[in-house]
A and B are shown apart, each in its own frame.
Chain A
């Protein structure tokens, strides 16, 4: 069931491999999925790389503020004594070849999980595919989970938000299949498959059940895109019948955006396609206080990758010591929880919460005056107290 690994790492064959592997859109677990509709997630509780009680995790710093933030993660882990060794996989955007990407992907496959910063995409070269998207497709990270909880210490217009976004992470509008049929006319394909939609919806309902959530809302635009979003809606309604204890409804995306700015408390768990997911996740992050706090987790049948929630490169803030490190640190806590290192996770999470909400040591984006280093030092101080 593992994906076929190419013998040669030559550019053209890797490219062919990547596009061929994409076409097998349900990914490496395709036969597992077909065997039993519920068996879409393999057991990921036993991580793949653990020697002498220490886990090895791939770290991909990405661009912009990524490297800085990853540095802070390492510092915090060292102080907390988390048994994690990081394997660095640099992704150099100036390099056109796919070797970096293939190396990073195989590293994550070896280790089973990874942490990732956002990778800048050169817009003026349409032949080069976005590396972020490629990675998600290759590792079949079909779902992105964003837990949006209001922070008590941040002043916003909306308090006490608690919404979970379950967003489709592969295919959809991000299929990246475009062509110019006639000069001046460009077509871009949006692909929705029943299999991927079904496993996404099942993940959402199982998540809701496992976490005591009451309501799942599907966000779509089926009044206009009748076949594509219509299929999404149909599949979700069908899956909802297997979970009668969870309330289910659906809402059109434009209405959703309007409701989110006036009454966001009506939402509990939301299922979204790729593009609507990016819109709503950025919207909610904006409502909660900005891109610097929340972290997102990407799950697949075998692998998991953790990153800041809004996937910004933050190029303008690189090197200025003003970026908010909490998003990346929260992502690292998600990683620890995934590896069942709950003690360390709890230690770091409460340190972050105390820093933002009680001590109010906040960076500029949250309205404070502190530098990134100040925030990290404060978190480290709390960790030392807690040890």
Chain B
């Protein structure tokens, strides 16, 4: 069920609890390399003595009493109760088949905004050195509404849905996020010269939100201009807010600038809570071989800690992780090293223990 719109105001701020309380977080171990990297994160959290208790759930679709396939009730109840989740990659089949599990999760918990901070990692050199931006993407509608038909044989249509409520929600979230995280500028990315009414509506909602937050600069740019400029000089962008499809593409583009999906954290904020996830694939070819890189899931869990106001633990874990990458001695294969996943995790744990 969807919580009333007024509640999202409260969740743009992190949930506050008295320190010392152990918070329960729902953990979705996922498929492929998912379970391995989840275990790595749990070990690191234990070493950092973070006050987190994990509640693992399985989200494989089951048959509901009414015959439809859906996420098991136990998983839904867990996330609704804990209001925070950490998710490892799930498998999505290409082509015809059942609806994407990721999309179903987003619908179920009304996760309306996807936040992906992209910051260049010291110690992992890419062709772009000084990237520091955040992409905020509308997560529920747009081109991914999944409404498609074959009108006549050989002619197919897909409907892109833009609603005022959703656009306004994500625009407000973007400005609140910018304010709470000391960001100076919000850029709305759109294609309103072609999609007049749909992107036009999105743009109007962004402009209205901008007027309510005059201390944050606002600009609007065409999608193609953003692509063009992003690969030449990524420093000119700060916070980007956009509808679903453009957000997907631009956020992956930004992830590519800093080194790929294996290093990028991601968080989904909703009316009923927040789920943080690793956005890379399940890598079935290396599953079970202890070769996976848990950095993406680890950085997402650090985002989660900050969201829960546990800044101290977040900072320590992040620093330990970046130091290990900077030293380059025990890093995994995708980063150019030869260490196993467990060795990399051990290196981070050693750094944490040394720092305490």
Contacts and interface: CB of A to CB of B under 8 A. Distances in A.
B128 interface: yes
A251 to B, nearest CB: 11
Interface string A215-237: 00000011111111011010000
Query: Chain A interface secondary structure, helix, strand, loop or mixed?
Result: mixed
A188 B253 contact: no
B194 A174 contact: yes
A18 interface: no
Interface in B244-268: 245, 248-253, 255-257, 259-261
B253 A258 contact: yes
B164 A185 contact: yes
B194 A157 contact: no
Contact of A283 (B143, B163, B227): B227
A282 interface: yes
Contacts of A173: 160, 194-195
B197 A222 contact: no
A257 B144 CA distance: 19
Interface stretch (B47-55, B88-96, B344-352): B88-96
B57 interface: no
Interface in B152-177: 153-165
A14 B304 CA distance: 57
A243 B230 CA distance: 36
Nearest to B165: A184
Contacts of B327: none
B119 to A, nearest CB: 16
A48 interface: no
Interface residues of A, number: 63
Given A158-B127, A189-B157, A223 B94 contact: yes
A185 B163 contact: yes
A282 B225 contact: yes
Contacts of B197: 126, 178-180, 186, 188
Contacts of A287: 231
B153 to A, nearest CB: 8
Contact of B143 (A124, A223, A225, A312): A225
Q: Which of B97, B155, B230 has the most CB of A within 10 A?
A: B155
A126 B155 contact: no
Contacts of B251: 254
B149 interface: yes
B72 to A, nearest CB: 23
Given A225-B143, A258-B252, A192 B156 contact: yes
Contacts of B121: none
B198 interface: yes
A253 interface: yes
A224 B160 CA distance: 12
A260 interface: yes
Contacts of A254: 248-249, 251-253
B182 interface: no
A230 B196 contact: no
B328 interface: no
Given A178-B197, A222-B94, A286-B231, A262 B252 contact: no
B260 A258 contact: yes
A4 B125 CA distance: 59
A285 interface: yes
Nearest to B233: A286
A193 B165 CA distance: 32
Contacts of A185: 161-164
Given A225-B143, A226-B148, A261-B253, A195 B194 contact: no
A82 interface: no
Contacts of B163: 184-186
Nearest to A233: B95
A153 interface: no
Nearest to A127: B196
A31 interface: no
Contacts of B208: none
Contact of A278 (B144, B224, B255): B224
A178 B198 contact: yes
A170 to B, nearest CB: 12
Contacts of A188: 159-160, 162, 195, 197-198
A258 B256 contact: yes
A260 B148 CA distance: 29
Given A283-B227, A283-B231, A187 B161 contact: yes
Nearest to B234: A261
A121 B193 contact: yes
B131 to A, nearest CB: 10
A192 B159 CA distance: 12
Contacts of B195: 173, 176, 178, 188
Given A126-B200, A188-B198, A283-B231, A194 B257 contact: no
Contacts of B196: 123, 125-126, 176, 178
5 contacts: A179-B197, A187-B161, A189-B157, A190-B159, A221-B245
Which A-B residue pairs are the 4 nearest by beta carbons?
Answer: A258-B256, A254-B252, A194-B154, A184-B164
Interface of B: 92-97, 100, 103, 126-128, 143-144, 146, 148-150, 153-165, 191-198, 200-201, 223-225, 227-232, 245, 248-253, 255-257, 259-261
